Structure 1
Amino acid sequence: MKPEDYNPSNYLPQGYYPWPDKINPNVEQMGIDYRNWIDTDYVYLSENIRERYKSMNLHKCSARMYPYASYERVTPMHRYVVFHTIFDDQLEYSTEEEVSRYCDRLVAIFRGDSLTPEDPGYFIQAAKIRDEFGAFMPDEWMKRLADTFYTVTRYGAQEEATYKATQTVPSLALFKVLREYSIVIFPYFYLVDAEFHTFLTEEVERHPVIQRVRSLWSRIIAWQNDIQGLKKELSKDTEVMNIVIVLQRNYNLSLEDAMTEAMKIHDDDLAELVALQEDLPDFGKYQEQVKQLFLGWGSLIQGLNTFYLIDTNRYDPECFAWPDRETEDTSL
């Protein structure tokens, strides 16, 4: 199989996952909102890059991932999806030190720091996310979100930057650990709490099953992302932290054989997640809440896959918002 013949829908078609495939009824207004945000607080990006983000239909991504949320609750969740997407994309060529600097400032804002006149619109969006969630979620929940954002950025995006800079790949064993974090998806796990008006106690949150579910959930989304975005990543040599590329380089596999192995890893993780959902331990009075959260976690996986397949040009190599290294507009 040649890279140009690769089609992700041959591996992850719509409806591949065993959860509902829905879309938030506020999707139209969400589209108006996010294009407004791009033109208001992301003006440090070049006009070309802003237009590319508008064409990606990121409101449909948020609407599919959080189909059960009210407009009030989905707004900061949607704002976070746009914020995270731009953050992740525009770090493509960043050094480990740059990632660390952006992370520290963002975490400080999430934890309550006031904005300064020097803070660009990107950080204004972070403060709005914090304040909008603060209207209906407890302070301890926001602390979890901030701490988790730090964890995935420090041990994911920051660690990944070194491999991108040197164009090397880790072993498959190490990659599996790093990719779980570098997909920077753990915070989305907690956004489902906000979707369902839920806040798990520390005792439930720390339960080994919940921790294992979070790990599997993040990995599945990472493998899904790697499979859906592979054509974009094969079009340039800058992206090496993709499970298919890691398998190819470590084991000298053809693209087709690497895809077979990648799908096996994906499907094994998916089978374990579904098995845990079907045989939950006793969470006492939180049992129904945990079941509801599983619905949200699963719907997010399903919705994200549908978004990739039918709603966006995001991973078209010609449409992706590559950072423009020839200008200063990529400064976060």
Structure 2
Amino acid sequence: MKTVYVPIPSYPWPRVLSPFVEFPEEEKWLSEDYNFLDEETINRYRKQRLYDFVFNMWPVTNDPKMMRPILRCGYYHTIMDDYVGIMPLDELKAFTDRTYEVMMEQDPQPNEIGIFHQMAAARKEWIANGMPLFWIERMAREFREYFTYGVMEETPFKLSNTYPSVGRYLLIRMYSIGQKVFVNLTEAAMGQALPVHIHEHPVMNRLRELQSMIIAIQNDFASIRKELATDNETLNIILVVMHEYKISLQEAIVESLRIHDEMVREIDSITSCLPDFGFYQKMVEDYIYHVKIMIHGLNAFYYESGTKRYTQEGFAIPKYGTANEQSLDLEIKHIEHEYWLKNLKNNNKVT
């Protein structure tokens, strides 16, 4: 069987370890608030170690009171993302509207699914810990955009098993990867929200766009074996590049990594020459530091945590999808970025 080598992306930013290593409330949440899922799906989430990706992305947070709502969001957003995969658009629109209402202080009814109860609990905990209402409104808006410009834009491609262009892929995945929501948790981890005029500065907007697209590509590299073997999974940059440019899988990996690495360089370029933010300069620099370690930390989660999220035994079964995998006539093997580049340079291919 042919082996295709996929590089593990690398970053020039710090790798920070969290003081938290376990999450005793996970079982309670999965068994109580996520019991609208079948037992097999819940067991799959147990294997995914979702708490570990939260600890990796926000490792400088050492206050359990602030970590708890961040964990809640990590769980409900991840499970929500799986749950709404290829959901009919009329149902998805209703789900979007309800998410916005719950984020904007309308508590769910007792019979509504636990995602909304976890969302309301996190909102109340953030407010109790000093996060301002304009930040809560920002979260609500980003959730709406995640659904509208991300999930809803992906659905036609998934249902028709077709591919977007590379440019369209990047725009869609910038929203559908969910990082424009998650990056707001950086401010919660810091314990302070960026003022609106700072948050909306073009430099800060571009930083978040790049962060989202980098993590989307990072995710696609980690999940490529699953997506090669699963129907309705065409929104992976390697597959999109392969399809648009009519090139081999290995050539598409090279091109996808090039796109990723250019974005990494752009983050360093724009953040090495910041505008004068005056009184807020230190806050902005701290925020940028957090965003960079988020990227590095999530990448480490894929390869170091033991998560089963992208294995056949561990990936979640979408409500309208299937866990069935097609057999592959190749083996995917992830290797260190530097080793992969060295072999590519020496042999013009990875052997």
> Same-fold call, TM > 0.5?
yes
Identity of aligned residues (%): 34
Which segment is superposed worse, 113-122 or 50-59? Answer: 113-122
Paired residue for 1:134, among 127, 130, 135? 127
- Corresponding residue for 1:268? 262
Query: Residue in 2 aligned with 1:68?
Result: 60
Please give the TM-score of this superposition, normalised by the length of structure 2: 0.87
C-alpha deviations, 1:154-190, integer Å up to 9, x for none?
Answer: 1101111111111111111211111111112101111
Question: 1:318 maps to which residue?
Answer: 313
Specify whether residues 84 and 194 from structure 1 end up closer, same or farther in structure 2 by C-alpha distance, changes over 3 A only.
Answer: same
Aligned residues: 319
Could you tell me which of 8, 18, 31 is aligned with 1:11? 8
SS in structure 1 opposite 2:120?
helix
Question: Which one of 254, 258, 262 corresponds to residue 248 of structure 2?
Answer: 254
Aligned counterpart in structure 2 of residue 286 of structure 1, from 271, 274, 280: 280
- Per the alignment, residue 302 of structure 2 pairs with 308
Equivalent position SS for 1:165: helix
Whole-Å Cα distance in 2 between the matches of residues 109 and 306 of structure 1? 32
Structure 2 residue 33 is matched with structure 1 residue 41: yes
1:111 and 2:108 aligned: no
Q: Distance in 2 between matches of 1:169 and 1:72?
A: 43
Aligned to 2:44: 52
C-alpha contact 1:231 1:317 (8 A) present in aligned 2? no
Deviation readout 1:271-325 (Å, 9 max, x if unpaired): 0001112111111111111111111101110110000001111111332112265
CA RMSD of aligned residues (A): 1.7
**Structure 2 gaps, min length 5:** 323-351
Shift of 1:118: 2.9
Give 1:95's aligned residue: 88
Task: Find the counterpart in structure 2 of residue 25 from structure 1.
Answer: 19
Matches of 1:326 and 1:109, distance apart in 2: 26
Measure, in 1, the Cα distance between the counterparts of 2:17 and 2:55.
Answer: 5
**1:17, 1:208 → 2: CA distance?**
23
More deviation in 212-221 or 317-326?
317-326
Deviation string for 1:226-265 (max 9, x for gaps)? Answer: 1111111111121001111111111211110000110011
Change (3 A) 1:37 1:298: same
Deviations 1:49-74 (A, max 9, x none): 10110111111111011111121111
Q: 1:23, 1:66 within 8 Å by CA — same for their partners in 2? A: no
Q: Aligned partners of 2:159, 2:321: CA distance in 1, in Å?
A: 18
Structure 2 residue 232 is matched with structure 1 residue 235: no
**Is the contact between residue 11 and residue 263 of structure 1 (CA under 8 Å) also seen in structure 2?**
no
Normalising by structure 1, report the TM-score. 0.92
Measured in 2, the distance between the counterparts of 1:326 and 1:249 equals 23
State the 1:98 CA deviation: 2.4
Q: Which structure 1 residue ranges, 5 or more long, are not aligned?
A: 328-332
Q: Secondary structure at the match of 2:24?
A: helix
Following superposition, the deviation at residue 94 of structure 1 comes to: 1.4
CA-CA distance at 1:326 after TM superposition: 9.3
Task: State the alpha-carbon separation in 2 of the partners of residues 231 and 313 from structure 1.
Answer: 13
Query: Which residue number corresponds to residue 173 of structure 1?
Result: 167
Residue of 261, 286, 292 corresponding to 1:298: 292
| 8 Å Cα contact 1:17-1:302 kept in structure 2 | yes
More helix by share: 1
Q: Contact conserved, 2:103 with 2:123, CA < 8 A, in 1?
A: yes
